[in-house]
Amino acid sequence: MNKKTVRITGAQCSFSVGAIQQNKNKILKCFEKAESVQSDIIIFPELAITGYPPEDLLLRESFIGKNFAVLEEIAEFSSKTSGIIGFVDRKLDNNSSDKNSRPIANAAAIIQNGDVRGIYHKTFLPNYSVFDEARYFSKGTESNQLFWYEDVAIGINICEDIWIEDGPAEEQVQSGASLIININASPYDINKSESRKEIVRNKAAKLNVPIIYLNMVGGQDELVFDGGSFVVDETGEVIYQASQFEEEVFHLDLDLLIKRSTDKPNLELREKSIELDSMVLTPTLTQSESIYSALKLGLFDYVTKNNFKKVLIGISGGIDSALTAAICVDALGPENVTGVAMPSKYNSNESLNDAIALSKNLNMELKVIEIEPLVETFRSTLSSAVANKLSQVTDENIQSRVRGNILMGLSNQTGAMVVSTGNKSEMAVGYSTLYGDLAGGYALLKDLYKTKVYDLSNFRNGISNVIPESIILKEPSAELRPNQLDKDSLPDYKVLDTILNLYIENDSSSESIIRTGIDASLVYEVLEKVDKNEYKRKQVAPGVKLTEKAFGKDRRMPITNTYIRQRD
């Protein structure tokens, strides 16, 4: 069968939500790179013009209008290299199942030689987990449409469309497509990169056509888009793998079947005099590498996109704050990170020494502020207003909230953002203090279980030994009362995290968790703590989503919940 060579450029880039003009400038620079190698097509991610997810910005007519104006400007710039660009199109919703009108669509524009030559509307709108697309968009209804480059037909679809069995890709191939291009803004979680690849590989082999999977990269609030774009041939073999968590513009030639001729090609292929360099597949990251990279990227983009320059961290001498500090320094540079150690009478000298050693290893500034006089003033003031002696919990929380106040005061004074240090295990069971250790602008470890904190700390030390071994080996403690240890209030973290993972990530019932062999009374105790501390979690700052059930948009539980779990 006859074939034609089509040269593709993939623009795996970061596009900020709402930064329409800056996104346009980045798109135009990528076009220049594609033109320099005589590409036929350059591909951009889903909603590249607006950034993803734009959420309720989509309800503003001025936002939609600006997105349209910028698309026209980009189209005017285009020449022989055609572009596939994610944007928001206008489209009436004729199939609405409720009273709400959705006059826009998640779309891909195909541009060339100064004009918009075609538009594809996303057919399957995800409305689960972090996705709310059915809230905003109308469904595409022409999923079998093709875009003809002379006598080669290409099917274009968007993100969720490729996950659907007998969906748009199948319809497009049945109509004559020799290549499927799928543009994405697919956020990272620990298990997703391999599942994406498996879905696409199987689909390419089934349909006997190559598929290009082009993903966005960058951080947006809780979400991190991990890139990792890839190309598979008609057998499902991966022939190119882009970097993860980094921007990359890549070029490749694909020999595509001419399946039939068409009288009305509306897109052109170009003559080529330039040979491309051979491609090198980027190795897939290990789980620890990908988690660490996601945390760095999520933090960096949150800090920089919100116009902060520096961050503050409360450094306790414990492992959570140590890992947080290491990630902050790696992401932002040591000159932009300040640690604050705030010892009270319950803090050991060893903890302060560990905090000092950590700061020296990371080459970051450490301020030491003694808090006992402030805590005593709070104790005295509060005691004078109540009849009974202050409870242990009240006293512990005073210390934590004094620390939170100091950090937020320093933030106000310096303009640096506070990064809180709590992990997912603690937040799950409420082992944290509102307006104390939960205070901050970004909760970096919010979706990282305590056992993973240890794993990631050891991973980071495998790169260079920055977290003192004494921090990793010591028994974890909040140090808010004499001889306090976490294990006095919580189960062993391996057991706790097993219960939490089953309950939160897998939605397992108490009965099914107990059947794994864990003591029933312990299971009930942990699950009750998770349920009753929803009010705390609702007030926690955003943090990087790492799992399929991150607290926040992923797991949406009512605060007021009178459902009673039946015990055997």
Residue of 530, 315, 300, 331 whose CA lies nearest to 421: 315
SS3 4: strand
| CA–CA separation, 257 and 260 (whole Å) | 9
| CA–CA separation, 473 and 358 (whole Å) | 14
Q: Indicate which residues carry an active-site annotation.
A: 46, 122, 159
Helix (H) or strand (E) holding 520: helix 520-532
Q: 16's torsion region: left (phi>0), alpha (psi -120 to 50) or beta?
A: beta
311-314 and 337-341 as β-strands: parallel, antiparallel, unpaired?
parallel
SS3 65: helix
Do the beta carbons of residue 247 and residue 14 sit within 8 Å? yes
Q: Tokens 């903890």, residue?
A: 351
| CA–CA separation, 111 and 318 (whole Å) | 54
Residue of 166, 159, 221 whose CA lies nearest to 185: 159
Structure tokens at 241: 């793998």
| CA–CA separation, 293 and 285 (whole Å) | 9
Residue-level length of the chain: 568
Do the beta carbons of residue 83 and residue 115 sit within 8 Å? no
Do the beta carbons of residue 215 and residue 185 sit within 8 Å? yes
End-to-end CA distance of the chain: 68
| CA–CA separation, 445 and 459 (whole Å) | 15
Burial code (b: 16+ CB inside 10 Å, e: under 16) for 311-328 equals bbbbbbbbbbbbbbbbbb
Structure tokens at 160: 């969720």
CA distances from 243 to 83, 230, 305 (A): 22, 9, 22
Residue 541 amino acid letter: A
Structure tokens at 170: 């199948």
Crossing angle of helices 450-463 and 319-332, rounded to 10°: 50
